[in-house]
Amino acid sequence: MRDRAEVQDWKEHGVRIVRAGELDSNTAQTPGMTRAAAITHARTGAEKLWAGTVVVAPRAHTAAHHHGEVETVLYVIRGHALLRWGDHLEFAEEAHPGDFIFIPPWVPHQELNARTDEVVEAVVVRSGQEPVVINLDIAEAAEFPVPFHPRAGENR
């Protein structure tokens, strides 16, 4: 961790803006999903956070997994992200543009785009630098496509 004397050099250690064209796609990828890192230790000096973007193709999904001790936040920019979670992925909720998703440490989950006609674009922020992904053997994760059932009266 940097001490206060190092941080006083604001030109070298102050605010860092990562431009849209500077995102790094040399990060862990899943078929049908394109991730790009923006805020990493190597790129900005961040020590406690990782941030980037993900674009999820129609019908694409992850395996069932968790991120160990890492907390994860997603902010949906475009599309409709479907999250399943629980020991058997028995819970599901769809997030819409403008929604935030919080995934606590150790929670088994699966991210999906159950739609056939649109991509999902989201910002991802994690509480750690390491790309911790522990894949889980949950039979229900293979049950795809997951039928989409909007909440009654929902017109999003």
pLDDT category at 142 given cuts 50, 70, 90 is confident
User: Higher pLDDT residue, 153 or 5?
Assistant: 5
Q: In whole angstroms, what is the distance from residue 126 CA to residue 136 CA?
A: 20
DSSP 60-125: -BPPSEE-TT--EEEEEEES-EEEEESTTS-EEEEE-TT-EEEE-TT--EEEE---SS--EEEEEE
Nearest Cα to Cα of residue 82 among 27, 150, 139, 131: 150
Say what the pLDDT of residue 17 is.
Answer: 87
- pLDDT tops 50 at residue 152: no
Q: Which residues contact 88 (CB under 8 A, 6 or more apart)?
A: 138, 139, 140
Q: Is the dihedral of CA 39, 42, 44, 49 positive or negative?
A: positive
Per-residue pLDDT tens digits for 67-104? 999 999 999 999 999 999 999 999 999 999 999 999 99
Q: What's the predicted TM-score (pTM) here? A: 0.82
Q: In whole angstroms, what is the distance from residue 129 CA to residue 101 CA?
A: 19
Q: In whole angstroms, what is the distance from residue 94 CA to residue 135 CA?
A: 22
- pLDDT tops 80 at residue 8: no
| Domains of the chain, CATH where assigned | 18-142 (2.60.120.10)
